[in-house]
């Protein structure tokens, strides 16, 4: 017989509520995943021959954590009389009534295509802090199986990260993560928080004490279970980006300005290839005033022929000087992909010989000096920029939009990139010394 703490019982009742989307957020080992897997099995037993998907970002983590640990534990403790057989070759577990629970990772291209080719009554995104919103959106489109006695439900769980994460925007701010507009159906999104003290009956005092002794950032995430404001030591801040934002009619760009389309390619085979990163495509210009302007974010996840044509169309629309493309992923194949759409477009290949944070830092200084302006709002690009610190990239997935922007701005500032940066750091050091 399983007993729940008051916090866990409140989360259990929420999972049975009428809302279509439910998020359990909070600290580690608080019982979030256990409760959701239990709710999925109840639903699967209620409606025979229904399908239910449990997805993580990495396939190996999905198998180790869910298939080999949480699922059999829930069955043993909560449903000892039910039968569950693994059909590993087919990729699912099957209950006695014919209902199936599929478990997979979004990084496993073949498996995810097989899973997302079906419709489901339940979809569970486990450890959603690692899952990009674009992948979550595609997974949610498969929440479409019509079943007797149960409605379609999506479940999400995670240890909270930054406040800009899509789970906090959807379930906390009740805003669309892409447009930032209020949700048209906020009542469809509900959230509960669970933390380790809610599961203290199953945790040792030593473990709980160890969580309380973690560094502040880790303690907030794994013990307190709260969303935090910013990345420690962030190279960019939302306030800083917003301070340099300008409207299109106010930019100082004319025919004498340099314009570039930058591409950060990936191995995506098409828009449903959820295991692949997006292709970052950023249009930027350097104005007659010497400042740089981000004009458009055209990033996408699509087949090579599609993103190559997308970059070329942008090149002609903005009358750009060239397309700059990162060559580490495919080299000359990247050039061939772009020139297949227009063989006369000049393509300059650049090589990532330094780490992402090292490449990002000089550009972040340009922002701090007020030399870079966003012409409009680019939510995904700005989220990725604000996830950079001097220690590296702290966001989920790959910073594909940010990488393309950094390539574009590095190209535009060119050889004069050093002097201003050295002077900036000299001033910063002097200010710190005086204070």
Q: What is the pLDDT of residues 185-200, one digit of tens each?
A: 999 999 999 999 999 9
Question: Can you tell me the mean pLDDT for 139-150?
Answer: 96
Task: Tell me what pLDDT residue 11 has.
Answer: 98
Going by C-alpha positions, the residue among 239, 240, 213, 225 that lies closest to residue 161 is 225
The structure tokens listed for 164 are 């800009």
Final residue of a structural domain among 166, 198, 224 = 224
Task: Tell me what pLDDT residue 213 has.
Answer: 86
Per the domain annotation, does 13 fall within a domain? yes
Question: Can you tell me the mean pLDDT for 163-182?
Answer: 90
Question: Can you tell me the mean pLDDT for 341-352?
Answer: 90
Give the percent of the chain with pLDDT over 90.
61
Higher confidence at residue 192 or residue 354?
A: 192
* CA angle in degrees (0–180, nearest 5) for 190-194-200: 160
Q: Are strands 189-194 and 21-26 parallel, antiparallel or unpaired?
A: parallel
Final residue of a structural domain among 200, 224, 248 = 224
Whether the model clears a pTM of 0.75, i.e. scores above it, the answer is: no
CA 260/CA 409 separation, integer angstroms? 9
**Is pLDDT above 70 for 209?**
yes
**Chain-wide mean pLDDT for the chain?**
88
Q: How confident is the model at residue 434 (pLDDT cuts 50, 70, 90)?
A: low
**Is pLDDT above 70 for 206?**
yes
Residues 150 and 252 in one domain: no
List, as one string, the DSSP characters of 121-188: SEEEETTGGGS-HHHHHHHHTT-----SS---EEEEEE---BTTSHHHHHHTS-B-TTT-PBPS-GGG
Q: What residue numbers bound the domain in which 70 lies?
A: 6-224
Per the domain annotation, does 434 fall within a domain? no
Residues 246 and 380 in one domain: yes
CATH number at residue 24: 3.40.50.300
Structurally, the chain folds into a number of domains equal to: 2
Task: Tell me what pLDDT residue 90 has.
Answer: 84
Residues 272 and 408 in one domain: yes
Residues 250 and 205 in one domain: no
């Amino acid at each position: 017989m399983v007993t729940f703490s008051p916090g866990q019982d409140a989360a259990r009742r929420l999972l049975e509520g009428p809302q279509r989307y439910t998020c359990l957020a909070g600290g580690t080992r608080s019982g979030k995943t256990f409760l959701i897997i239990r709710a999925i099995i109840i639903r699967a037993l209620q409606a025979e021959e229904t399908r239910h998907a449990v997805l993580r970002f990495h396939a190996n983590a999905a198998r180790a954590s869910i298939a080999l640990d949480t699922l059999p534990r829930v069955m043993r403790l909560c449903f000892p009389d039910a039968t569950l057989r693994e059909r590993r070759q087919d990729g699912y577990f099957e209950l006695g009534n014919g209902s199936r629970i599929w478990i997979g990772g979004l990084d496993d291209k073949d498996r995810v295509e097989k899973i997302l080719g079906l419709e489901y009554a339940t979809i569970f995104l486990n450890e959603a802090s690692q899952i990009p919103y674009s992948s979550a959106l595609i997974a949610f489109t498969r929440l479409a199986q019509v079943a007797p006695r149960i409605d379609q439900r999506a479940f999400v769980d995670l240890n909270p990260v930054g406040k800009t994460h899509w789970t906090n925007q959807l379930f906390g701010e009740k805003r669309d993560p892409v447009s930032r507009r209020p949700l048209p159906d906020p009542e469809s999104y509900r959230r509960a928080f669970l933390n380790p003290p809610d599961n203290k009956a199953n945790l040792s005092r030593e473990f709980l004490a160890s969580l309380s002794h973690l560094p502040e950032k880790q303690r907030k995430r794994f013990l307190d279970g709260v969303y935090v404001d910013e990345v420690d030591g962030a190279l960019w801040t939302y306030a800083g980006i917003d301070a340099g934002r300008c409207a299109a009619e106010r930019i100082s760009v004319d025919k004498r300005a340099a314009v570039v389309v930058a591409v950060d390619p990936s191995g995506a085979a098409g828009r449903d290839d959820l295991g692949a990163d997006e292709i970052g495509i950023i249009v930027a210009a350097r104005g007659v005033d010497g400042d740089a302007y981000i004009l458009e974010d055209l990033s996408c996840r699509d087949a090579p022929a599609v993103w190559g044509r997308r970059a070329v169309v942008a090149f002609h629309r903005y009358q750009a000087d060239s397309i700059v493309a990162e060559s580490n992923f495919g080299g000359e194949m990247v050039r061939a992909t772009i020139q297949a759409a227009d063989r006369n477009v000049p393509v300059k290949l650049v090589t990532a010989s330094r780490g992402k944070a090292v490449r990002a830092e000089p550009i972040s200084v340009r922002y701090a000096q007020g030399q870079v302006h966003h012409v409009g709002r680019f939510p995904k690009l700005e989220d990725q920029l604000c996830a950079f610190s001097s220690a590296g990239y702290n966001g989920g997935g790959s910073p594909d939009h940010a990488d393309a922007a950094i390539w574009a701005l590095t190209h535009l500032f060119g050889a004069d990139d050093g002097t201003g940066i050295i002077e900036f750091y000299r001033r910063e050091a002097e200010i710190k010394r005086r204070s």
